[in-house]
Amino acid sequence: MDWHRLCAEGDIADGCMCSFQVGETHVVVCRVGGELRAFNGICPHRGAMLGQGTLDGQSVICPWHNWEFDVVTGQGVTNEQSSIAVYPLKVEGGEIFVGL
């Protein structure tokens, strides 16, 4: 696994999301209840950018068709047969890194 710097830890407030392109992977990072989470930013339903959706508690809601995913587990809420990848994060020296 390779670690990629995304941003400063303070750049992501609680209840907010930020999107990043890391090579071929679109990554969204959010802070929920003080915890940072990272997940694949492409909705598996029709390819919408999840970072343009809505964060509701620990769920991200797709901006196109309202499909909902748990940002902790990646499990689909709207469609339990669907899921998004979740990625490990670490904070070092005040910087956020994602493991891909």
Question: pLDDT tens for residues 48-84?
Answer: 999 999 999 999 999 999 999 999 999 999 999 999 9
| Amino acid, res. 53 | G
pLDDT in tens, 23-49: 999 999 999 999 999 999 999 999 999
Q: What is the pLDDT of residue 57?
A: 95
CATH code, domain carrying 61: 2.102.10.10
**pLDDT value at position 91?**
97
Number of domains in the chain: 1
Count of other CB atoms within 10 angstroms of residue 78: 14
Domain span holding position 14: 3-99
DSSP state, 19?
A: E
Are residues 99 and 87 in contact, defined by beta-carbon separation less than 8 angstroms?
yes
